[in-house]
Structure 1
Amino acid sequence: MSILDWSVLIITLVVIVVYGIYKSRGAQNIHGYLLGNQSLPWYHVCLSVMATQASAITFLSAPGLAYSSGMSFVQFYFGLPLAMIVLCITFVPIFHRLKVYTAYEYLEQRFDLKTRALTAFLFLVQRGLSTGITIYAPSIILSTILDINTTYTTLFIGSLVIFYTVYGGTKAVSYTQMLQMSIIFCGLFAAGIMVVQLLPADVGFGRAISIAGKMGRTNAIDFKFDLNNQYTVWTGLIGGFFLQLSYFGTDQSQVGRYLSGASVSQSRLGLLMNGLVKIPMQFLILLIGVLVFTFYQYNRPPVFFNSFELNKLEKSKYGPQLNQIKNDYDRAFDAKQAVVRQMNQALDLGDESAIGLQRKALQAADEKEKAIRTQVTELMLKNDNQANVKDNNYIFLSFVTQYLPKGLIGLLIAIIFLASMGSTASALNSLASTTVIDIYKRLIKKDGSDRQYLQASRLATVFWGVVCIVMALYASKIGNLLEAVNILGSYIYGTILGVFLVAFYVPYVKGRAVFVAGVFAQLLVIVIGQLDLVAYLWLNVIGCVLVLVFSVTLQGLSKTLSAET
């Protein structure tokens, strides 16, 4: 990167951190540290909720996902607006009325301590692992820019976020997230415009979308009902609804954001706005990935997008073999260029038969390029069996650093850093809240002073920060980060949601029945997920329904046995 890009990156990050710490000064008690004194307006709530969900994973992995397989992932969010409506009607007023710090406090009031502990434990496991993946995402950027191992960049990024989260608490998180999202929106529009500007002069936005469509990259909507298809309208509306309802309604990283709202109406308005804005925002991010795909039909893409791993292979004894593969790759790309030109001519003439022929030819050329890239990854594993051979997360980053103008590169990389810092800080804050309120204060030190609980919250933030950094060091092996986070959440969110729905809507079910139901449902979901019987979004539905059915059944059996005795 140029000096201008480094200047933009460093100045943006420093301003964000200093601003957040300045605005959060004076958090002297646990209420201010964990809930920001419940003083934030709706737009703070909305942007904070969005920033918590839209991590660096979103801005690194989503364009890569669209580049590789198209825009079908946008269907994942179709259940979000419905989930926001249910949350505003049920969850938000209950949590505000009970004046809880965490969502799990309510479960002890409704059921018992062991049910509260079970859900808190499931949350801590899921969020701790997911946050490690979130920290890993921006470490990829520094690793690529500085050409060093991601271990060192992961340690740096994790330490930076821990520092300002420990110091400022939830207010620091919320204030920095508001500024972060403002910069992110501007940067995304700039990136989208620049991709189109960099295309050949005779290829406008419409032609770029047409080319991508002919190669299967604009498949945003799929109405087929297929339990094994990860992304369809039905998995998004049904499975996505359950996942989003559980994520926003029971995950403390989100509950903590809207509990900081100044009133029920401010929290509701923030959530509803999030439901309206999130789908267009995600569509734009995926669209950028599609446009990058079209760009690389006219400009030769790298044979492997992870430059660190590629450089390591070039310097190894397999360098000559890699050079031969690169030559094959160049010839394959040149051959594809001829097909792209013929496709353009067919589109200009509107010749459908010619378009169909060129579509097949383009897809065949694309498969040939993929086969050559597979040879590179096989060579990498020969050289180092621990090599990271999944470069999906590097696609957009590679484009940004190689083709965008100076200054904008620094801004876009700052955006990805900011997104990671925002979502990671929210997660650490929520992990600390749950640890202190649901475990330390409830089970270990019930009569501590406010100052002791504040100190415990800071220490818990450091503890979970270290745990998440350790997890991040192993994240390179899990493929596309965006899918990995959602798959991990789908294993757990359904069970937690089921417990809350029983608490809200099935008043005669008691604590013992719902606790046993939750344990059995969670075990079954893990088995179903490991056997790969259905697409992962359906695990949210299955977990939730199993808890409801088991709870009602067990409570009924308990009443029957009691009556007989």
Structure 2
Amino acid sequence: MTSYRLTDLIIVILYLSVVAIFGILSGGKQRSIKDYFLGAEKIPWIAVSFSIIAAETSTLTFISIPGLAYKSNFNFLQLAFGFCVGRIAVALILLPKYYQGEISTVYTYLERRFGKNLRTFASIVFLLTRVASDGVRLFAAAIPLYLLLNIEPIFAILIISFIALIYTYTGGMKAIIYVDALQMTIYLGGALLIIFYILNNAGGNIFSDSELINQKLSIINLGISKSFSDFFLQPYTLFSGIVGGAFLSMASHGTDQLIVQRLLAVQNLRKSQLAIITTGVIIVIQFAIFLFIGFLLYAFYGEISLKSDEILPTFIIKELPVGFSGFIIAGIFAAALSTLSGSISSLSSSTMIDLFLNNKKDNLDEKSKLFYSRIFTIIWTIILIASAFFFMNTNKAVVELALSISSFTFGGMLGTFLLGIFNKKANEKIAITAFIISIIVVSLFIIFKVVAWTWYVFIGVAIVMIIGFILSELKKF
């Protein structure tokens, strides 16, 4: 290993060590599973907001979004506008329902509205979807590490997973949120360093090519020049971005335990609403930053024969001066660890509370509950590692792959929550039936490629609401 890489490696190792120690210390001592999974509901809303941004960002944003902009343009930003709209809807429609009475996971609401069977079913769907999509994210996180160390991807995945497990196991949700808030500043700082370096070294030539600017910095795509069928096959149009992005964000931030677990860690509804709406503003700015990096990489390199997800890691390792690349790789790990730790915790909490305790007749003391919770933390870490191994040979941009997997069931999930809120006649049997039909229909849309992935959630929601309405009116369920 050259001294150049050794210096960067030392920076990365120091950073990972600091993260592990900070996570252990900030988590404090947990006396109950409420402390372990919700941080005793005493965490500042701004820390939760930063934590949500860090959790949803993962390595996908750091690596894959610049890769998308490198290969195409800024059309992806239209989706971020929809994300912002969706979070406002979560604050106004879903969160008030969650704060009516005691709730420990987001799926508690489904049991309160429909029954235990639906809560169990929704939790299982969440677990399967989350472990698949976050397996992709974990693999993406390993890309810069195995390039830096020249090791097999498997070992890179194991290293990252071990660090996340340390502070998730010992510090619980409180440690995760505070570490996430720290890591958001690290990876955004790394992104700004990349921008500064390219602009400083490329001079004013980047902005002298008007044709390049018009092509690469194009944001709005109405998509109306296509035929009706082709219009819905475009993933990044203004309409699909606003509508599809809004429903995707409502599902991911309003019905997914990974995010809602954080929103339930603050003191009251108003602060929870502040946290989620603030993330909507930040996420638009953040996507713009990472898309701009993709534009700069294209201006810097021109056309090169690399996979889109390898362009930024290659630039970091080969082009940046010593120290810079080490700090930025640490930023990538910051994004990766925030998502991975949150995923482990949400999977463990849903397994423990929705499945294990909710279906266990015998009462356990808090010490036993904590013991089982930590066992589930270890088990889900192992499962996520296995999932990452499975996705190692994918050729698709990982951000699209992960979002496509999530969208597969998100529509049915969000539709079921909205059915419970807006259809008072619907019962548990109707809700489960509509949920299952939604997943089947969306699967057919995916298999036959009828529409772009950005429409999956909207279609899933529409199917649940329509089926739920029809069955409710028939009154045969």
Q: TM-score, normalised on structure 1?
A: 0.80
| Pairing 1:418–2:423 present | no
Aligned equivalents of 1:13, 1:531: Cα separation in 2: 44
CA distance in 2, matches of 1:193, 1:405: 13
Per-residue deviation at 1:530? 0.9
- Matched residue, 1:439: 355
1:211 and 1:410 map into 2 onto residues whose CA distance is: 34
Match of 1:108 among 107, 111, 119: 111
Question: C-alpha distance in 2, partners of 1:409/1:425?
Answer: 24
- Indicate whether 1:452 and 2:455 are aligned: no
CA contact (8 A) 2:188 2:331 kept: no
The residue that corresponds to 2:459 in the other structure is 542
Q: What residue is the counterpart of 1:207 in the other structure? A: 208
Between the aligned partners of 2:77 and 2:125, the Cα distance in structure 1 is: 27
Q: Which residue of 1 aligns with 2:444?
A: 527
Q: Distance in 2 between matches of 1:281 and 1:537?
A: 20
Contact 2:81-2:241 at 8 Å conserved across structures: yes
Match status 1:250 vs 2:167: no
CA distance in 1, matches of 2:451, 2:417: 24
Q: Would you say the 8 A contact 2:98–2:106 is kept in 1?
A: yes
> Is residue 76 from structure 1 mapped to residue 79 from structure 2 by the alignment?
yes
Cα separation, 2, equivalents of 1:445 and 1:485:
37
225-234 vs 27-36, which moves further = 225-234
Aligned pair 1:6/2:5, yes or no? Answer: no
Report the equivalent of 2:27. 24
Whole-Å Cα distance in 2 between the matches of residues 265 and 418 of structure 1? 29
Which amino acid is 1:229 matched to? Answer: Q
- For 1:192 and 1:212, the matched residues in 2 are separated by 18
2:268 alignment partner in structure 1: 263
Return the alpha-carbon distance in structure 1 between the equivalents of residues 361 and 328 of structure 2: 45
Whether contact under 8 Å (2:107, 2:119) holds in the other structure is yes
Residue of structure 2 equivalent to 1:54: 57
Structure 1: how far apart are the matches of 2:169 and 2:213? 47
Pairing partner for 1:239 from 240, 244, 254: 244
Q: Deviations over 1:46-81 (max 9, x none)?
A: 101101100011101111111112221111212122
Deviations 1:121-171 (A, max 9, x none): 111111011111111112111211122211121122222212221111101
Measured in 1, the distance between the counterparts of 2:171 and 2:383 equals 20
* Aligned residues with identical type, % of pairs: 28
Gaps of 5+ in 1: 306-390
Distance 1:117 1:212 in 2: 52
Taking the aligned partners of 2:204 and 2:273, their CA distance within structure 1 comes to 47
Contact 2:344/2:377 (<8 A) preserved: yes
Partner of 2:220: 221
Residue matched to 1:166: 169
Q: Deviations over 1:404-463 (max 9, x none)?
A: 122111110000001100011111110011101110001135511222221111111111
For residues 493 and 165 of structure 1, what CA distance do their matches in structure 2 show? 26
Amino acid aligned to 1:207: S
In the TM superposition, what is the alpha-carbon distance from 1:520 to its structure 2 partner? 1.2
Q: Amino acid of the residue matched to residue 338 of structure 2?
A: G
Structure 1: distance between partners of 2:468 and 2:58: 35
- When residues 541 and 446 of structure 1 are mapped into structure 2, their CA distance, relative to the original with a 3 A threshold, is farther
| Contact 2:240/2:454 (8 A) holds in 1 | yes
Deviations 1:337-366 (A, max 9, x none): xxxxxxxxxxxxxxxxxxxxxxxxxxxxxx
Structure 2 residue 63 is matched with structure 1 residue 147: no
Alignment partner of 1:36 is 2:39: yes
Q: Aligned ranges for residues 305-454 of structure 1 at < 5 Å?
A: 305=306, 391-454=307-370
Letter in 2 for 1:219: S
Q: CA deviation at 1:97?
A: 2.9
Match of residue 228 from structure 2:
none
CA distance in 2, matches of 1:527, 1:240: 21
Question: What amino acid is the match of 2:205?
Answer: V
AA at the equivalent of 2:129? Q
Counterpart secondary structure, 2:223: coil
The code of the aligned residue for 2:176 comes to: V
**Is the Cα–Cα contact under 8 Å of residues 20 and 166 in structure 2 kept in the other structure?**
no
Contact 2:63 2:313 in 1 (8 A): yes
Deviation at 1:185, TM superposition (A): 2.1
**CA–CA distance in 1 between the matches of 2:367 and 2:175?**
19
> Mind listing any 5+ residue stretches in structure 2 that lack a counterpart?
225-230
Equivalent pairs counted in the alignment come to: 467
1:110-149 correspondence to structure 2 within 5 Å: 110-149=113-152
Over 3 Å counting, the alpha-carbon distance change for 1:211 and 1:149 in structure 2 is farther
Answer whether contact 1:212 1:293 (CA < 8 A) is retained. Answer: no
Partner of 1:356: none
SS of the aligned residue for 1:85 comes to helix
Say whether 1:287 aligns with 2:292. Answer: yes
Are the equivalent residues in 2 in contact too, given 1:491–1:526 (CA < 8 A)?
A: yes
CA distance in 1, matches of 2:448, 2:427: 32
Whole-angstrom CA distance in 1 between matches of 2:208 and 2:356: 59
Question: For the residues of structure 2 that align with 1:466 and 1:101, how far apart are their CA atoms?
Answer: 24
Q: How far apart are 1:42 and its partner, in Å?
A: 1.5
Alpha carbons 2:20, 2:163 under 8 Å: kept: no
Task: Summarize deviations over 1:297-347 as a string: whole Å, max 9, x none.
Answer: 3xxx765x4xxxxxxxxxxxxxxxxxxxxxxxxxxxxxxxxxxxxxxxxxx
CA distance, structure 2, for counterparts of residue 464 and residue 183 of structure 1: 27
Q: CA 1:238 to 1:446, structure 2 compared with 1: closer, same or farther past 3 Å?
A: farther
CA apart distance, 1:6: 2.3
**What whole-Å deviation, never above 9, does each CA across 1:487-540 have from its counterpart, x for those lacking one?**
111111000000000111111211111111111111111111111000111111
RMSD of aligned C-alpha atoms? 1.6
Contact 1:490 1:536 in 2 (8 A): yes
Say which one has the larger Rg: 1
- Does structure 1 residue 484 correspond to structure 2 residue 426? no
Q: 1:121 & 1:510 partners in 2: Cα distance? A: 20
Q: Distance in 2 between matches of 1:183 and 1:535?
A: 34
